Homo-oligomer: A and B are copies of this chain.
Amino acid sequence: MSKTPIVEVINFGDELLVGIRENSHLVYLGEQLARYGLPIQRSRVITDEAAEIQRAFLDAWTHSDIVITTGGLGPTADDMTRENIASALGAELVFDPEIEAIIQARFDLLGRTMADHHQRQCYRFVGGEVLHNARGTAPGLAYEKEGKLLIMLPGPTHELTPMFEREALPLLWRLGALSEEEAYLQIRTCGSGESTVEQMMQPIVKAYPSLTVAYCVHYGIVDVRLSSRDGAIGREALKAIGQEARELLGEDFVCFGHCSLAKVVVHELRALERTLAVAESCTGGLLCNAFTNLPGASKVFVGGVVCYSNDVKVAQVGVPESILEQHGAVSAECAIAMASGIAEHLSSDYGVSVTGFAGPDGGDEKNPVGTIHIGYHSPAGVWCKTFRYTGGRLDVKTRAVHAALDWMRRQMRAHKMEEFLSCGEND
């Protein structure tokens, strides 16, 4: 295998070409491989037609060193990918009784009968390897020829992911295609826009000409990836540059790596041994969901109330009716009452609240669509912040959730020492 093999991914599937589904396999494989210094150089999506498969595969095989395919390994008549690629490669397929035994055992376990059409999933390339499928019937296949490598993975995500990690990555390690060190350093920031982050990074960009700096923005989060394309900057040097960047980014720095904002907040809460409750109106469950996506969140997250109607705000969160009458449900005053109210009702140490107009309807002169009030109640006091966003309903909801989480993590960091000191009193 050459020093930096050219990797090409081929995804089979009409549904990727007609707007039914996004190509999440490419994102997943791209992230995994980039992490080990083996970035994907090109990718293509093609239909399941025989001529197309053969032509595209041959082109890929000619111009790349490692070709990874996804999909087309199912038992139905459409799934002729194995056969078409074998034909393009000039390789032979052979029936493998071991594969049949494994598929048979799987059906036995489920108490179902193995249908005839599963027989076609029992073939592998002569001289090739079989990649075990822990979650489905279709095994993956690997085949080496003239210093090139083909890896064929199944289409369903829950089958592809474990197979890639447990079978394909070890194979790539064995062939020496992966780098021991993570190939880039990611810095997650929140609070400033992309151009501001770019400006903050300028001293580093100027100081290290061989450094590649890439930015990626998602709903208020700006990720900065530092890498050295030609390997001129080693891992330790990259880490040191990361620390310099952290200083420059100040409070906008969230973490190195891929931690979600919710995970950072949960981490702080676990360190503080405190609990949290959420009251949300316009974000409608999305903030609670950000916490409950994390395994173990129940240790600090006691629950939340989605108080869409005013009645629920009063009865379940304890917002005084007088506040709703005087200031309305979308107001700083209501956000404050919600944050303190939810902490009291659910007996948590911290309370966070979101109220606003996510659109497309609603809003008034003082609070146009996109206005979001966030309340934050902590043992140290209660505050409110107001944000204004453009974009559609789902954009506004996501940005509001990120803003709430970002504010919490800043406040918790700021108050951490103080709270640790006052722990004895509050406990």
Residues of A within 8 A of B (CB): 14-24, 26-34, 39-47, 52, 55-56, 59, 63, 76, 135, 158, 198, 214, 216, 218, 223, 225, 277-278, 282-289, 291-293, 295-298, 301-309, 311-312, 315-316, 345-347, 359-361, 390-395, 397
- 16 additional contacts (CB under 8 A) given A18-B31, A304-B305: A14-B214, A16-B30, A18-B214, A19-B30, A19-B34, A26-B45, A42-B56, A158-B395, A292-B306, A295-B359, A301-B308, A302-B311, A302-B312, A303-B308, A304-B306, A312-B346
A216 to chain B, nearest CB (A): 4
Bound Cα distance from A305 to B312, whole angstroms = 10
- Say how far A307's CB is from chain B's closest CB, in angstroms: 5
Which residues of B are found within 8 Å of A16, using beta-carbon distances?
Answer: 26, 30, 43
Among residues of B, the one whose C-beta sits closest to the C-beta of A55 is B63
Q: Report the minimal beta-carbon distance from A143 to chain B, rounded to whole angstroms.
A: 23
Contact of A303 among B29, B305, B390 (CB under 8 A): B305
With A20-B214, A55-B63 known to touch, is A43 a contact of B41 (CB < 8 Å)? no
Which residue on B lies nearest to A161, using beta carbons? B392
Asked whether, in the complex, the Cβ of A18 is within 8 Å of the Cβ of B34, the reply is yes
The smallest beta-carbon distance between A226 and chain B, in angstroms, is: 13
Contact A42 B17 (CB under 8 A): yes
On chain B, the residues within 8 Å of A288 by CB distance are 284-285, 288, 306
> In the complex, which of the residues B59, B295, B361, B392 contacts A158, with contact meaning CB atoms closer than 8 Å?
B392
- What separation, in Å, do the CA atoms of A223 and B278 have in the docked complex? 35
